[in-house]
C-alpha cells in the first residue's frame, strides 16, 4: 500500500476530534512529501537535528512535533520552529526550553511525559511529580513555555488488557486535572495501540509504521 493510502486508512478509523501526528523519524524527505501531498500537516520526529534538517527543506506550513527524549543542549536547534514538544520529563528541560523560546520571542507548547508502563526503561514522571510541576511557582515564572497536556507510552506488550489499564490510568488523571491546569491534549497511542488509546480518551495519536511502513 502507498503512504497516501495508509494515511487515508488510519484517518478513516479515527474520530475528527483526535489529532494525528504522522511519525516520520528515520524516513526520507520523499516519504514526508507523499504524506504532505495527501493532506497531512503534522509530523513527529524523535531526534532534534534530524527534525531541523527536514524543517529546512520542507514546506513551512508543516507543524513539527518533537516526540523523543530531549537532550537539553540540543533544544536550541528547534526553538525557532517546533510546534509541540511531547516528551518533557524534567523541570530542568522545561527551563532550557523556556530560555531558548525567549530568544525567539515564542511561547512553546509542551506536554509532560507520564510514566505509565511497567517496564523500567521508559522515561516519564510519576503522576505526583507532574502535579508538583504544574503547581510550582517556578513554572509560573517560565513565561515562554506553556504546558498544554500530557503524553505517555504504554508497555511494549501484546497484552491489551495491560495496555488498556495503563491508558485508563493516565486518561483518568488527565480528566481529573485538565480543567484546573488548562490542559487540552492527551497524547497516547501509536501504530499498535491507537484504537485502545482512543477508546480510553486520547486526543492525539502518534502513528509511524502504520503510515510509513516498518523502520
Ligand X SMILES: *Cc1c(COP(=O)(O)O)cnc(C)c1O
Per-residue binding string, ligand X, 21-40, x by CB under 6 A, is --x-x---------------
Nearer to ligand X among residue 50 and residue 99 (C-beta): 50
d(CA 15, CA 173): 22
Could you tell me which stretch among 3-11, 56-64, 94-102, 203-211 binds ligand X (CB under 6 A)? 203-211
SS3 of residue 1 by DSSP: coil
Examine residue 209 and tell whether it contacts ligand X (CB under 6 A). Answer: yes
d(CA 212, CA 24): 7
Nearer to ligand X among residue 174 and residue 189 (C-beta): 189
Q: Which residues contact 44 (CB under 8 A, 6 or more apart)?
A: 21, 22, 23, 24, 25, 64, 65, 66, 67, 86, 206, 208
CB 88 within 8 A of CB 110: yes
Examine residue 208 and tell whether it contacts ligand X (CB under 6 A). Answer: yes
Residues from 45 through 84 that contact ligand X (CB under 6 A): 46, 67-68
d(CA 183, CA 167): 17
Nearer to ligand X among residue 41 and residue 103 (C-beta): 41
How does DSSP classify residue 77?
Answer: G
Examine residue 113 and tell whether it contacts ligand X (CB under 6 A). Answer: no
Examine residue 207 and tell whether it contacts ligand X (CB under 6 A). Answer: yes
CB 120 within 8 A of CB 154: no
d(CA 58, CA 175): 36
Q: Which residue is nearest to ligand X (CB)?
A: 208
Q: Which residues contact 9 (CB under 8 A, 6 or more apart)?
A: 1
* CB of 208 vs ligand X, minimal distance in Å: 3
* CB of 21 vs ligand X, minimal distance in Å: 8
Nearer to ligand X among residue 78 and residue 139 (C-beta): 78
d(CA 204, CA 206): 7
Examine residue 191 and tell whether it contacts ligand X (CB under 6 A). Answer: yes
d(CA 8, CA 122): 31
* CB of 180 vs ligand X, minimal distance in Å: 26
Nearer to ligand X among residue 85 and residue 142 (C-beta): 85
Binding stretches for ligand X (CB under 6 A):
23, 25, 46, 67-68, 153, 190-192, 206-210
Amino acid at each position: 500500500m502507498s503512504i497516501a493510502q495508509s494515511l487515508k486508512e488510519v484517518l478513516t478509523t479515527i474520530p475528527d476530534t483526535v489529532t494525528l501526528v504522522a511519525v516520520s523519524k528515520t524516513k526520507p524527505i520523499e516519504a514526508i512529501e507523499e504524506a504532505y501531498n495527501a493532506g497531512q500537516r503534522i509530523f513527529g520526529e524523535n531526534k532534534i537535528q534530524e527534525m531541523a534538517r527536514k524543517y529546512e527543506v520542507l514546506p513551512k506550513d508543516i507543524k513539527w512535533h518533537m516526540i523523543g527524549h530531549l537532550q537539553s543542549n540540543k533544544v536550541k536547534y528547534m526553538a525557532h520552529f517546533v510546534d509541540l514538544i511531547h516528551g518533557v520529563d524534567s523541570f530542568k528541560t522545561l527551563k532550557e526550553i523556556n530560555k531558548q523560546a525567549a530568544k525567539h520571542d515564542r511561547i512553546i507548547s509542551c506536554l509532560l511525559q507520564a510514566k505509565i508502563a511497567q517496564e523500567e526503561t521508559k522515561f516519564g514522571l510519576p503522576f505526583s511529580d507532574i502535579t508538583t510541576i504544574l503547581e510550582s511557582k517556578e513554572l509560573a515564572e517560565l513565561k515562554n513555555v506553556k504546558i498544554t497536556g500530557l503524553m505517555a507510552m504504554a508497555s511494549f506488550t501484546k497484552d491489551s488488557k495491560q495496555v488498556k489499564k495503563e491508558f485508563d490510568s493516565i486518561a483518568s488523571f488527565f480528566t481529573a486535572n485538565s480543567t484546573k491546569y488548562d490542559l487540552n491534549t492527551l497524547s497516547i497511542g501509536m501504530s499498535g495501540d491507537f484504537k485502545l488509546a482512543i477508546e480510553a480518551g486520547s486526543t492525539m495519536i502518534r502513528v509511524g509504521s502504520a503510515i510509513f511502513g516498518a523502520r
